[in-house]
């Protein structure tokens, strides 16, 4: 740094620009989030879908704008690492005990990565330039910053929930509040009778003050404090023509875990502290990864940071090697995983196998489309990472050779480090084509039926998977079928669903290819049958229950409804919770 550069002045000024930039971003984040309440009351599901995309795009726009302001301020000193270390320390000292300060630190890291991009960028984490921390620090203190509604139990569940529902300010009338209160009380009593041994009395009920909005449902999230245990409780509400009514009560850890799962769209909620809300959710979902909780609450960058840190810590305490992931090799992605960890990593190949014609940018665009769309519990949340590194000696010889020869645009080897310029990470699920061969006949049948339902659920949200092969779908540990191969995904409104034309003559019938013109967006539902690589019994079951998926009329009807502005709510939870 030159002697005439006013370090004492520039450090606080740059820190303030970044801090104020985050505050503006956060204000806009809350503004979009708060609209969810109005969307719910007005049943404006289409507007809610747009808010999902707007809120996702907000972070990138905000970080890029502030990075440009910082570049102008620092002029020729933008890559001065000593200066940035001082800025990080100065800002960090002023974030002590500020609620959700981890988000500001993550925002700071995003700024530094953009500023240093012109000189090759930051690979992995640079502790001299970035905050290296965990949002799970200070658990007890942070829990105290969360505003809760607390209801002591005085002997009557109905009285307790009558008060609880009356205090929830939906801004619209209930259809039948007494009926909802009775149903909720009965579900709690029956659950505890079946699942809690002994006479363990209720002490109190605690609910996060903010409602959690997602698609066409609002959720009340809390926990039941009993003398000897804590039970999660989530109550779903829907807004009908007749008024607001409850739609489900979830109390098992498995049910609540699905509600906050990695295939769900991000919630719109405004708790007094997001970090504290994550700690609260961790208290009722101890097996749920923290990164997924941050992500499903809409704090995607924080979720990415937690995912990377948690995985890096696991990598440092294990010795197994990365290997090719189970399942058929992809034509577009090279997929691998660490057997001891529940993640898979996907790298775009340099060249795609036949018959793929999409470009590299086209693949990236498809994944971005999914990130901004309603996932309806059927699309895995996939996060893109840039310039991260793993030790090369943790990769199998076969895998490292393929990465360096088939994905040179995304991977390079420096010393003992494999540097991934662009890589996707997502939760591991068992490929459906493998799953149905490994499980009982009953479980295989349930999976094939759910595969058909997954196609219908995606259609209701204007998504056509494109490639319907079973290998592109997976089964979660909750035995739910989800889709994870996005390079051919398309909006149904952009597809042209056609019936296969009749042949004009015998010569047409004998041709190796089609005798009719096919455009890129043409879809022939009758051909879907060839994607159903399953045994005769499973295929017969699929045809019996989901035969309409092979008809052009079904898809044209879905498309017409989407074009007409209809938005069908897909409820990604079991009807047994109702």
Euclidean distance between CA atoms 407 and 330, whole angstroms = 13
CB 74 within 8 A of CB 119: no
Is 381 an annotated catalytic residue?
Answer: yes
Euclidean distance between CA atoms 82 and 79, whole angstroms = 9
Take residue 130 and report the two structure tokens written for it: 């970035």
CB 175 within 8 A of CB 220: no
Among residues 381, 450, 457, 485, which one is catalytic? 381
What share of residues in the chain are helix, strand, coil (percent, to 5)? 50, 15, 35
The residue behind tokens 């059927």 is 378
User: Positive or negative, the Cα torsion across 41, 280, 572, 489?
Assistant: positive
CB 278 within 8 A of CB 292: no
Comparing CA positions, the residue from 296, 345, 295 lying closest to residue 323 is: 345
Q: Which residues pair with 426 in a beta bridge?
A: 344
Euclidean distance between CA atoms 340 and 442, whole angstroms = 29
Secondary structure of 291-312 as H, E, C letters: HHHHHHCCCHHHHHHHHHHHHH
How many CB atoms are closer than 10 A to CB 393? 11
Q: Where are the beta strands (DSSP E) in 322-475?
A: 323-324, 333-337, 343-348, 383-385, 388-391, 411-414, 417-420, 423-427, 430-431, 463-464, 473-475
Euclidean distance between CA atoms 423 and 184, whole angstroms = 45
The residues carrying an active-site annotation are 381
């Amino acid at each position: 740094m030159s002697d005439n550069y006013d370090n004492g002045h520039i450090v606080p000024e740059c820190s303030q620009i970044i801090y104020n930039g985050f505050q503006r971003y956060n204000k806009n984040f809350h503004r979009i989030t708060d609209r969810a309440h109005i969307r719910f009351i007005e049943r404006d599901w289409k507007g809610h879908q747009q808010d999902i995309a707007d809120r996702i795009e907000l972070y990138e726009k905000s970080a890029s704008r502030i990075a440009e302001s910082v570049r102008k301020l620092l002029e020729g000193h933008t890559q001065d690492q000593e200066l940035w270390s001082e800025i990080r320390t100065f800002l960090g000292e002023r974030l002590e005990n500020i609620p959700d300060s981890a988000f500001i630190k993550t925002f700071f890291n995003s700024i530094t990565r953009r500023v240093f991009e012109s000189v090759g960028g930051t690979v992995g984490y640079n502790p001299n330039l970035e905050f290296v921390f965990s949002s799970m620090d200070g658990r007890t203190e942070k829990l105290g910053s969360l505003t809760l509604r607390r209801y002591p139990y005085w002997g009557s569940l109905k009285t307790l929930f009558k008060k609880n529902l009356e205090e929830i300010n939906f801004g619209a009338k209930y259809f039948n509040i007494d009926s909802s209160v009775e149903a909720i009380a009965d579900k709690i009593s029956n659950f505890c009778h079946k699942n809690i041994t002994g006479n363990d009395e209720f002490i109190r009920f605690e609910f996060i003050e903010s409602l959690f909005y997602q698609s066409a449902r609002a959720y009340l999230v809390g926990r039941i404090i009993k003398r000897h245990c804590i039970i999660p409780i989530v109550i779903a509400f829907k807004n009908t023509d007749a008024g607001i009514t409850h739609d489900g009560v979830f109390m098992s850890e498995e049910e609540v875990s699905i509600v906050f799962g990695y295939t769900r769209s991000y919630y719109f909620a405004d708790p007094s502290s997001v970090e504290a809300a994550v700690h609260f959710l961790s208290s009722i979902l101890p097996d749920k990864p923290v990164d997924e909780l941050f992500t499903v609450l809409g704090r995607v960058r924080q979720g990415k940071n937690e995912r990377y840190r948690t995985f890096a810590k696991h990598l440092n305490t294990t010795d197994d090697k990365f290997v090719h992931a189970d399942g058929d090799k992809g034509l577009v992605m090279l997929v691998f995983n660490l057997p001891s960890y529940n993640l898979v990593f996907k790298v775009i190949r340099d060249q795609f196998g036949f018959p793929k014609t999409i470009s590299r940018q086209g693949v990236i665009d498809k994944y971005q489309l999914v990130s901004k769309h309603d996932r309806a519990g059927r699309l895995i949340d996939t996060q893109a990472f840039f310039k991260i590194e793993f030790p090369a000696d943790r990769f199998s010889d076969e895998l490292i050779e393929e990465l360096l020869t088939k994905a040179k645009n995304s991977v390079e080897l420096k010393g003992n480090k494999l540097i991934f310029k662009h890589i996707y990470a997502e939760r591991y699920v068992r490929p459906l084509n493998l799953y149905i061969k490994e499980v009982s006949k009953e479980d295989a049948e349930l999976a094939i039926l759910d595969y058909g339902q997954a196609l219908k659920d995606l259609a209701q949200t204007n998504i056509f998977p494109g490639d319907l092969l079973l290998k592109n779908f997976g089964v979660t540990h909750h035995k739910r079928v989800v889709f994870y191969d996005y390079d051919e995904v398309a909006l149904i409104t952009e597809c042209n669903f056609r019936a296969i034309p009749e042949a004009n003559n015998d010569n047409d019938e004998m041709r190796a290819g089609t005798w009719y013109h096919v455009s890129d967006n043409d879809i022939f539902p009758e051909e879907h049958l060839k994607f159903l690589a399953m045994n005769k019994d499973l295929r017969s079951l699929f045809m019996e229950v989901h035969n309409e998926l092979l008809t052009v009329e079904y898809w044209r009807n879905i498309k017409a409804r989407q074009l007409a502005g209809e938005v069908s709510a897909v409820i990604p939870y079991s009807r047994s919770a109702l």
